[in-house]
Amino acid sequence: MMLRTRAQCLEADRNDPLAEHRDAFVLPPETIYLDGNSLGALPGAVDACLRATVTEQWGQGLIRGWNDHDWIGLPMRLGEKIAPLIGAASDQVIVADSVSVNLYKLLAAALALRPGRSVILSSEDNFPTDLYIAQGLCELLGKERCELLLVDRSRLVNSIGNNTAVVMLTHVDFRSGRLWDMQTITRHVHEAGALMLWDLAHSAGALPLKLDAYGVDLAVGCGYKYLNGGPGAPAFLYVAKTHHSHAAQPLSGWMGHAQPFAFSPSYEPAQGIRGFQTGTPPVLSYRALEAALTLWENVDLAQVREKSVRLSETFIELVEGSETLAEFDLNSPRQASERGSHVAFAHPFGYAIMRALIDRGVIGDFREPDLLRFGFAPLYTRYVDVWDAVEHLRGVMLNREYETSQHQAPKRVT
Ligand SMILES: Cc1ncc(COP(=O)(O)O)c(C=O)c1O
C-alpha cells in the first residue's frame, strides 16, 4: 500500500520488523540521514569497540595484541562475517585494502587466468575508479596483454567476444541505482569463456546476493557504505573456490605469503583466499568494521530488500506526486526490481538544492552533472524520514533557498 500521509508513515515504522535495529546506531537528533549509500552511519558498538581496542588491546596489550586478540586473524575473520551477506560459502572472502586496490589485484589475476585473451570489458558508466584502475593496469602490461573496452550498457552483452578475458561491472550503478541482472550477465560471460568480476560497493548490505549460486568468479566490495565500517573502512574481495588453485595476484606483499614470519627472501603465496592479502592490516579500522558487522548477525536480507524497496518507492511517489517538485526528473529506473537502494533525481540546480537541503538537516549527496542522490539504509532509515525529507525538499523549493550564494559555491567533496 502506498504511504500517502505522515501518519501512515509512522504506522509503517511501528509495523517495521527491522525497526529495532535503528537503536544500534548513533544518529544526530534533528538529522535525516539519506547518505548511507556513501558513508554508513555510526553503530554504537563501533564507538565502544574502538575505545576498548585502543585503551585495552593496544594500550595494555601492546604488540601482544597480534596474538592475544588475534589481530592477525582479522582479515579472514571479517571475510567470514561478510560471506553470508553476499551468498558466499566459507574461505572465499577476505577483508583487505580498498576497493580500488582489490580491483587491481583481481583484474590482474583474471587476465592471468585467461591467457591469450586481453580484453577487460566494462560499461562506460561504471564507477571511475574501476575504469582508472583498469586503465593503469593496461598501461603497465601493454596493449598486447591488456586492453580496456568500454561500451554503452545496452551493448554490453553483445560486446563479449573471444578476446574478452574478464567483464567488470558495478552491480548497482552509483549514479542511478540501476541494477545489472547478475545471474544473466554472469551466464553470458561464462558462455563466452570469460570471467566475471562484480563491484558490490552499493550492493553488500543493501540487498541479498548469491555469488556462489550464480557462479560468479570474482568480486570486490566496500566496508564503509551499507556495512557501516566507518570512513575509509577496509574493503573486501571474493575469489570463487574453483579459482583458488590457479589465481594469483600481483601485489605480493608479506601478508599474502604462506609464512610471513619465516621472513624468507622469496615470495611463496599462501593457499586460497589468504594469498590475496598484501600488507599489515590497519587494526583500528578492522576492529571498527568488525563491530559494525555484528549488527548483521540476525538480519534477514529479504526483509532488508523489502524495506529498501518500500522506502525508495515511497520517496519516488511523494516527489512525483508533488506539484512543487515537478521539475525533478527521476534518473533511476521506475521499476523497483531494477534498482538498488538509492534513488537519484535530476534538477538543473541540483548542487545548490542539495546544499540547502543539508542545511535543513536532510543529508543526501550530489553527483555531476545534476543529480541529487538519496540512499535508504533499511537498518536505520524510517518511513517518516522519507516523508519529512520530501517536505523539506518542498520547503527548499518553495522558499527558493538554493538561490543564496553560500549554496552555489562547490565544496571539495560533494
Ligand atoms: C562502485 C564503487 N566502486 C568503488 C568505489 C570506491 O573505491 P575505494 O574504496 O577504493 O575508494 C566507490 C565509492 O563510492 C564506488 O561507488
Using the mean position of ligand 1's atoms as its centre, give its distance from the Cα of residue 222 in Å: 7
* Res 411: pLDDT: 83
Q: What is the CATH number of the domain that holds 209?
A: 3.40.640.10
The answer, yes or no, to whether residue 256 has pLDDT greater than 90, is yes
Whether residue 201 has its Cβ less than 6 Å from ligand 1: yes
A 10 A CB-CB count for 313 gives 18
Across residues 158-178, what is the average pLDDT? 98
319 & 258 share domain: no
Per-residue pLDDT band for 216 (boundaries 50, 70, 90) equals very high
Across residues 284-308, what is the average pLDDT? 98
Whether residue 365 has its Cβ less than 6 Å from ligand 1: no
The answer, yes or no, to whether residue 300 has pLDDT greater than 90, is yes
Q: Looking at the domain assignment, is residue 183 inside a domain?
A: yes
Please state the φ and ψ torsions of residue 276, each to the nearest 5 degrees. -95, 10
Nearest CA to ligand 1 atom 6: 99
Q: Looking at the domain assignment, is residue 304 inside a domain?
A: yes
How far apart CA 3 and CA 315 sit, in angstroms, is 9
* Res 406: pLDDT: 78
A 10 A CB-CB count for 261 gives 8
**Half-sphere exposure (Cβ direction) of 356: Cα atoms closer than 13 Å:** 21
Mutate to test the pocket of ligand 1, among 103, 127, 130 (most ligand atoms within 8 A of CB): 127
How far apart CA 362 and CA 373 sit, in angstroms, is 12
Count of structural domains, the chain: 2
Active site amino acids: 127, 199, 224-225, 373
CA 349 to chain centre: 27
C-alpha cell at 237: 574481495
Residue 380: give the domain boundaries. 6-30+300-408
Using the mean position of ligand 1's atoms as its centre, give its distance from the Cα of residue 3 in Å: 33
The answer, yes or no, to whether residue 177 has pLDDT greater than 80, is yes
Q: What is the pLDDT of residues 185-209, one digit of tens each?
A: 999 999 999 999 999 999 999 999 9
Please state the φ and ψ torsions of residue 68, each to the nearest 5 degrees. -65, -35
* Res 148: pLDDT: 98
* Res 43: pLDDT: 98
The answer, yes or no, to whether residue 414 has pLDDT greater than 90, is no
356 & 370 share domain: yes
Whether residue 99 has its Cβ less than 6 Å from ligand 1: yes
- When the pLDDT of each residue in the chain is averaged and rounded to a whole number, the result is 97
Return the H-helix or E-strand segment holding 330.
Answer: strand 329-330
Nearest CA to ligand 1 atom 12: 201
Q: Looking at the domain assignment, is residue 110 inside a domain?
A: yes
Q: What is the pLDDT of residues 43-96, one digit of tens each?
A: 999 999 999 999 999 999 999 999 999 999 999 999 999 999 999 999 999 999
160 & 99 share domain: yes
127 & 12 share domain: no
Whether residue 203 has its Cβ less than 6 Å from ligand 1: no
Q: What is the pLDDT of residues 374-408, one digit of tens each?
A: 999 999 999 999 999 999 999 999 999 999 877 77
Using the mean position of ligand 1's atoms as its centre, give its distance from the Cα of residue 101 in Å: 10
Whether residue 97 has its Cβ less than 6 Å from ligand 1: no
